[in-house]
């Protein structure tokens, strides 16, 4: 069974802008998928729909092979939107990273262990007691990703995680995504940049400006046609 399967999906914003139109897609467990398309193609909207954070106007999204409300899979699907600020609203970075597990009734030791493991992995240990607004852009992005991962999600939907991340930080983030995939996490990453795709994905879903799928297949095959 796919971890997420969308059928005949359409979504328009309240002002009438059609963002996603009649789209069918299924993501299998353990896949590394890129959603590629120009700005405005509907990538962000599609990720929100696949993450159950937006309700489609038409069509359905099925999670883990079952008809179940998105609320029931909240812990299992992590979505990182483009603005890290959405995840950083507590007085300290530590509280932001704790926020996920603290919602799920886990023992305090489990929460503490997860927070220190994530902080270590993301190079945030020395920043845990700082207010998030005093972090650099790259540090904020890492903190936001740590707070999403604190749920220990099986599926990770990342909206342009590499934009404004350069050089060593980019290599580090790519390593981290590889580690997550090795751990069995299903990864879906949106990007407007075809050059980035081979590093993050084995499969590419190419969106056109109308919010529909123009191509869907193995990275090598799809990118030779772009
Ligand atoms: P296939 O189309 O090859 O059967 P799918 O992965 O599309 O494979 O679907 C597997 C099963 O799940 C099918 O019975 C299909 O009807 C159902 N299914 C898949 N996605 C959805 C969806 N979004 N809403 C309702 N049913 C779905
Ligand atoms: P992408 O992530 O590929 O840049 P988006 O999903 O952000 O694409 O946007 C798809 C379309 O929906 C675009 O035409 C965009 O202008 C529009 N859109 C996005 N967010 C909103 C919104 N909150 N209200 C109205 N239109 C929106």
Q: Looking at ligand 2, which residue's alpha carbon is closest to its atom 12?
A: 19
Confidence band for 225, pLDDT divided at 50, 70 and 90 = low
Mean pLDDT of the region 119-124: 90
Task: Round to whole Å and give the CA distance between 45 and 50.
Answer: 9
Question: What pLDDT sits at residue 35?
Answer: 98
Instruction: Report the atom number in ligand 1 closest to the C-alpha of 60.
Output: 23
Question: What pLDDT sits at residue 150?
Answer: 87
- The better pLDDT of the pair 105, 145 is held by 145
Question: What pLDDT sits at residue 226?
Answer: 62
Question: What ligand has the least distance to the C-alpha of 7?
Answer: 1
Q: Cα of 134 to ligand 1 centre, how many Å? A: 46
Q: Looking at ligand 1, which residue's alpha carbon is closest to its atom 24?
A: 60
Instruction: Report the atom number in ligand 2 closest to the C-alpha of 45.
Output: 6
Mean of pLDDT over the chain: 92
Cβ proximity of 47 and 9 under 8 Å = no
Q: CB of 203 closer than 6 A to ligand 2?
A: no
Q: Looking at ligand 2, which residue's alpha carbon is closest to its atom 6?
A: 42
Q: Cα of 5 to ligand 1 centre, how many Å? A: 7
Task: Round to whole Å and give the CA distance between 96 and 84.
Answer: 11
Q: Using one digit for the tens of pLDDT, what is the confidence trace for 190-205?
A: 999 999 999 999 999 9
Specify the pTM.
Answer: 0.88
What are the tokens at 74?
């909240």
Cβ proximity of 143 and 96 under 8 Å = yes
Q: Cα of 45 to ligand 2 centre, how many Å? A: 7
Question: What pLDDT sits at residue 119?
Answer: 93
Mean pLDDT of the region 177-188: 95
Interface predicted TM-score of the whole assembly (ipTM), two decimals: 0.77
Question: What pLDDT sits at residue 170?
Answer: 85
Query: Is residue 106 over pLDDT 90?
Result: no
Instruction: Report residue 57: phi and psi, to 5°.
Output: -70, -40
> Which one, of 168, 161, 34, lies nearest residue 87 by Cα?
161
Mutate to test the pocket of ligand 2, among 38, 40, 190 (most ligand atoms within 8 A of CB): 40
């Amino acid at each position: 069974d796919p971890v997420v399967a969308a059928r005949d999906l359409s979504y328009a914003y309240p002002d009438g802008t059609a963002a996603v139109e009649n789209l069918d897609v299924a993501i299998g467990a353990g896949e590394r998928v890129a959603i590629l398309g120009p700005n405005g193609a509907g990538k962000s909207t599609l990720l929100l729909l696949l993450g159950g954070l937006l309700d489609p106007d038409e069509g359905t999204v099925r999670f883990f092979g079952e008809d179940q409300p998105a609320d029931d899979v909240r812990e299992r699907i992590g979505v990182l939107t483009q603005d890290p600020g959405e995840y950083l609203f507590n007085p300290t970075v530590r509280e932001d990273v704790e926020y996920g597990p603290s919602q799920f009734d886990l023992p305090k030791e489990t929460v503490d262990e997860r927070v220190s493991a994530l902080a270590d992995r993301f190079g945030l240990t020395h920043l845990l007691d700082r207010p998030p607004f005093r972090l650099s852009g790259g540090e904020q992005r890492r903190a936001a990703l740590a707070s999403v991962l604190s749920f220990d999600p099986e599926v990770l939907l990342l909206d342009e995680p590499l934009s404004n991340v350069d050089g060593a930080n980019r290599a580090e983030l790519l390593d981290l995504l590889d580690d997550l995939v090795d751990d069995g996490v299903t990864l879906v990453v949106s990007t407007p940049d075809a050059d980035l795709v081979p590093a993050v994905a084995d499969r590419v879903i190419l969106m056109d400006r109308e919010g529909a799928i123009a191509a869907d297949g193995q990275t090598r095959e799809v990118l030779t046609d772009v």
